[in-house]
Amino acid sequence: MTHTIFVINGPNLNMLGKREPGIYGGKTLDEIDVDCRSAGKTLGVEIDFRQSNHEGVLVDWIQEAGGSASGVVINPGAYGHTSIALHDAIRSIQPMPVAEVHLSNIHAREPFRHKTMIAPVATGVICGFGSHGYILALHAIASRLGAGPDSLREATR
């Protein structure tokens, strides 16, 4: 069976490339989408890549993942710092593996970015590695699902 991993992106991530490239890097979200699909091919998983600026839409997609996907990679953007709704949505799909990703190292930035509402209910968190964080997260989720290279599967046992 082919696993599907939802890659869900929150507010303002559609502005990547133009938006504060010194912090978030120069890649556009479309380029990150292409990178994720190519990682998906390597890992033998389907990638369903999405972005919305709307909290309720993100909640809908997390619930949808709970019904039809095997895992979730989410960059919740600023909602990661504030949203009890996203926290609850992720709780509702447990024990599905969920990786929280931030391009920037949120812990090295303003104090209001240090707290994440997602981390306590995520399987793990990757931040500070730019767009490569999405690829690291896909490898981590795939290995949880028993997909991808054997060495990675072993490493997370």
Q: Which among 43-51, 65-73, 102-110, 140-148 is the span making contact with ligand DQA, rule CB under 6 A?
A: 102-110
Check if the beta carbon of residue 100 is closer than 8 Å to that of residue 126. yes
- What count of other Cβ atoms lies within 10 Å of the Cβ of residue 107? 14
Q: Which among 39-47, 53-61, 72-80, 140-148 is the span making contact with ligand DQA, rule CB under 6 A?
A: 72-80
By CB under 6 A, residue 53 contacts ligand DQA: no
* Vertex 127: Cα angle to 124 and 133 (nearest 5): 85
Residue 99 corresponds to which tokens in the numbers above? 């990786």
What is the C-alpha to C-alpha distance for residues 31 and 131, in angstroms, rounded to an integer? 9
By CB under 6 A, residue 104 contacts ligand DQA: yes
The yes-or-no answer on residue 102 being catalytic is: yes
Which of 51, 52, 70, 75 touches ligand DQA by CB under 6 A?
75
- Residue 149 CA from chain centroid, whole number: 20
* Vertex 58: Cα angle to 53 and 22 (nearest 5): 45
Which of 87, 102, 139, 144 touches ligand DQA by CB under 6 A?
102
Concatenated DSSP letters of 79-94:
HHHH-HHHHHHHHHTT
Among 3, 87, 102, 139, the one annotated catalytic: 102
Residue closer to ligand DQA (CB basis): 120 or 146: 120
By CB under 6 A, residue 4 contacts ligand DQA: no
Among 24, 79, 87, 139, the one annotated catalytic: 24
Residues that bind ligand DQA (CB under 6 A): 12, 75, 77-78, 80, 102-104, 106, 113
